Structure 1
Amino acid sequence: MNYLSFVVLTKNTSNIPVFGPIWNLIVSFLGYVMNAIYLLLDKVGIPNIGLAIILFTLVTRIIIFPTSIRQQKSSRMMQLMQPELKAIQEKYKNKTDNASMMAQQAEMKALYEKYGTSMTAGCLPLLLQMPIIFALYRIIMNIPAYVPSVKTVYENVVNHIGVSDDVLNRLIQFGGENGLSTVLKQLHNLGVEDYDLSAQGNFIIDFLYKLNPVQWTKLSEVFPDASQVIQTAAMESAKINNFLGWNLSTAPSAYGFVPNRYWLIPILAGLTQWLSTVLMQKQNSAMSQGGEQSAQMMQSMNIMMPLMSVWFCFSFASGIGLYWIASAVFMILQQLLMNWYFGKKSDEEILQEAMARANAKREKKGLAPLDEKGVENRLRSMQDRLDTEEKKRMDLIAKQATKTKESTEYYNRDAKPGSLASKAGMVQKYNEKNEKKN
């Protein structure tokens, strides 16, 4: 069974080995959240996929908010550390010997301790967010897999048209004639022996969920015996997928490159993504202080990320675009909130809080607490030790040079012209003369 098959199957058969049990746990949990939100909306009389996606996005942003705060704190620490970090890097810039490299690592470790952070503090929150972000896309693209009441709408159609080779061939032909080439890649896997009827039915549900109103009408012509059921499902699908006049199962690309109101979704997605990256760059100014290469990288991301948002939201169903917009809007609000919160704190307050957290961890390990003066003393002691070792090395070289000179003068003091000792003295003087020129 290939990887693509796992991606498109509904929940009861999704088991992606690449991510393992942790992935399944995250997806299942977020799937329950999505279902709970939709059921709540259904109870108040507005069962709508669009509202469910927005509320679902809000809940997930709240869930990962603590990791965003940690990432922001780490960025602020990096900003405070930057001058001292650069000083250490400049100090060992052209030193590649083992002793210098070890000394540089020791100084950097002590510096990170001084600021109560670590080299991986900024990466860890982002790594924690990645599985959740991937899980969100999985759920948004296959909502029937996680919301049983939505799945029922499409399951009724599957029960009436059946699951057979004839049905699958007709769906494949229908997809090819109606611009559903992406979904066809999923359907082409339906005939293999690895899939039972239940799995094949789930494939068809995934396929039906991606149909827009025009495609639903054409589908009833392909299966005239089930046209009434298909029309009923089409009306229910249009009702739950309608959001402010947009059908969320319709991709903006379905109308080609002719401007229409669906174009607003990728445009808004690009604009909100751009605003989000600009706000993040302003707060995380430590990145721009990392050198010209880092600044150019940030500028490239500010351009590429919004353009990628526009392209993806133009190509996929509008539901994905709505999620992208909602996510960017909540990120903007979240960033404004964090900018305000961290803007109230002085550098000294941020440093003291970081030191307190570091000391709490050290206390659990039975280690002595750190303080800024203590770390600075360690750095000073380390520098004194390096200076002492360098002085000893230079003194040794000087002593050796003195001994060599005294020995040469001793053996050459009574040398006769033309003797071997005289010639050796001439060679030495020649070498010394050339060394001075070089």
Structure 2
Amino acid sequence: MDTILWPLMVAVAWVMVNIHRFLVFIGLPDGPGVAWVISIVGLTIFVRLLIMPLFVKQIRASRGMQLMQPELQALQNKYKGKKDPASQQRQQEEMMALYRKHGTNPFSSCLPILVQMPVFFALFRVLANLQAVATGGYAGHDSIGPLTAALAEQVQASTVFGAPLSASFMNSSAVSVKAVTVVMIILMSVTQWYTMAQLSMKNMPESAKSSDNPAMRSQRMMMTIMPIFFAFTGVQFQIGVLVYWVTTNLWTMGQQFFTIRKMPAPGSEAEKKMRARENARRARKGLPSLEEEERAKAEAEGKLKSGQRAQPVRKDRQKKKPQGSQAGPVAAGIDKTAPEDAAAEVNEETNVVGLTQEEIARRRYERRARARKQAAAKRKGQGSKNTKSSKKGKRR
């Protein structure tokens, strides 16, 4: 196995050694100590930055999977109870077409984990062979890349709360090693569970949370299986590997929290909270809400698509162009001295000045708001007149 992983082991050792050199350069103590622990954390961050494009692809695939759930459930209901080979084949073909339509596949969410696994095992083998490298008896190699015998001794002597980085629960009788291993396994399980819970509870539409949804069933199954998996496998790994695993889980949790907050799935609880925050911000600035703006924009787009055009203005109603002025809104039938509402109305219907759709929608919204206020004031005034006339009638 080491022969296959050797290039990755050299790469992992190179990253760790250079991060350690940088940490010493900025003032951390050289030799055994916290700098080597932080170098493993730095290795984790370095790997996560490298696979950032895969994370973006994972998020897009996850959103596509969530959006296609209603269509997927309809497809499953369509072929429910049909077990013949022809029906099964047609179902698979239609399902593949559905995945292509939404640009996703059920394995995209596994890509970051699959890419990290070789790095994970390479770090495992590097830490497992520190003793052999330190004594010069590692399979004919006197070092693993830049990780020489002297540096291997330093890593081996570095500790996390008294537990050496190269020690594991199964190969050490020290209480500190066993205690640190148990705490890290609990941290790994909790962070992994919360990461999955964020997706299933906050970033899924209500229609996808049904127990009939296979994606939801598999998500809940993984939330149960992963802590058990960590409990059985974590006792085999060195403290340094557990540091790597906890760090990558924390990174994933934070990365996912930011993504769900800023780019939630449509129809999810996270999207409702994001829209509420945005509407509150808009209200403070005196802007229309997202719903009002979207409704106005849809109306504007509907008018454009319906083929409506501006009605021509009669010559006797057009304002003459003042001498010495350049062609502008007056030439298009807009009076510069007229109120802003009139100019905005012509702009919204004809777009002669080149306003964007957002500006057209905003002006239309403002004009309608003013019209509503004027109508309310008129009704109020009319009501007061009626009250006065009724009082006069009673006196008579």
* More contact order relative to length (CA 8 Å, sep ≥ 6): 1
Match of 1:137 among 121, 125, 131: 121
Shift of 1:75: 1.9
Q: Which moved more, 1:58-67 or 1:331-340?
A: 58-67
Match of 1:314 among 219, 227, 235: 235
Alignment pair present for 1:157 and 2:132: no
Judged with a 3 Å threshold, the aligned counterparts in structure 2 of structure 1 residues 288 and 344 are, in CA distance, closer, same or farther, namely closer
Q: Quote the residue 1:255 is aligned against.
A: 173
Provide the aligned C-alpha RMSD in A: 4.1
Q: Quote the residue 2:370 is aligned against.
A: none
Please, what TM-score do these two structures have when normalized by structure 2?
0.52
Match of 2:77 among 82, 86, 90: 90
Q: Is the 8 A contact 2:165 2:238 kept in 1?
A: yes
Q: Is the 8 A contact 2:200 2:216 kept in 1?
A: no
Q: Quote the residue 1:327 is aligned against.
A: 248
* % identical aligned pairs: 23
Judged with a 3 Å threshold, the aligned counterparts in structure 2 of structure 1 residues 256 and 274 are, in CA distance, closer, same or farther, namely farther
> What CA deviation, in whole Å up to 9, does each residue of 1:307-345 have, x standing for no partner?
322343333321121112111111111110121122286
Judged with a 3 Å threshold, the aligned counterparts in structure 2 of structure 1 residues 294 and 156 are, in CA distance, closer, same or farther, namely closer
Alignment pair present for 1:55 and 2:4: no
Q: Quote the residue 1:199 is aligned against.
A: 139
> What CA deviation, in whole Å up to 9, does each residue of 1:46-76 have, x standing for no partner?
3532101111111211222221222222222
CA distance in 2, matches of 1:257, 1:249: 15
Shift of 1:256: 7.1
Judged with a 3 Å threshold, the aligned counterparts in structure 2 of structure 1 residues 103 and 298 are, in CA distance, closer, same or farther, namely closer
Q: Is the 8 A contact 2:40 2:243 kept in 1?
A: yes
What code does the residue aligned with 1:199 have?
A
Shift of 1:303: 2.5
Report matched runs for 1:11-410 at 5 Å. 14-15=3-4, 29-46=11-28, 47=30, 48-95=35-82, 104=91, 107-108=94-95, 111-115=98-102, 117-118=103-104, 121-124=105-108, 126-127=110-111, 129-143=113-127, 155=133, 157-158=135-136, 199-200=139-140, 236-237=154-155, 239=157, 241-253=158-170, 254-255=172-173, 260=179, 263-282=182-201, 285=204, 288-289=209-210, 291=212, 295-343=216-264
Q: Is the 8 A contact 1:276 1:331 kept in 2?
A: yes
Secondary structure of 1:250's partner?
coil
CA distance in 2, matches of 1:325, 1:82: 32
Secondary structure of 1:142's partner?
helix
What code does the residue aligned with 1:157 have?
T
What code does the residue aligned with 1:304 have?
I
What code does the residue aligned with 1:248 have?
L
Q: Quote the residue 2:374 is aligned against.
A: none
Please, what TM-score do these two structures have when normalized by structure 1?
0.48
Q: Is the 8 A contact 1:82 1:289 kept in 2?
A: no
Secondary structure of 1:309's partner?
helix
What code does the residue aligned with 2:185 have?
P
> What CA deviation, in whole Å up to 9, does each residue of 1:135-157 have, x standing for no partner?
22212440598xxxxx7x96563
Q: Is the 8 A contact 1:288 1:295 kept in 2?
A: yes
CA distance in 1, matches of 2:257, 2:159: 31
Q: Between Structure 1 and Structure 2, which shows a larger proportion of helix residues?
A: 1
CA distance in 2, matches of 1:38, 1:233: 10
> What CA deviation, in whole Å up to 9, does each residue of 1:18-66 have, x standing for no partner?
xxxxxx6666555543333233223334353210111111121122222
Judged with a 3 Å threshold, the aligned counterparts in structure 2 of structure 1 residues 39 and 89 are, in CA distance, closer, same or farther, namely same
Secondary structure of 2:229's partner?
helix
Secondary structure of 2:68's partner?
helix
Judged with a 3 Å threshold, the aligned counterparts in structure 2 of structure 1 residues 91 and 56 are, in CA distance, closer, same or farther, namely same
What code does the residue aligned with 2:221 have?
S
Q: Which runs of 5+ in 2 are unaligned?
A: 272-396
CA distance in 1, matches of 2:86, 2:151: 73
Judged with a 3 Å threshold, the aligned counterparts in structure 2 of structure 1 residues 340 and 156 are, in CA distance, closer, same or farther, namely closer
CA distance in 2, matches of 1:322, 1:329: 11
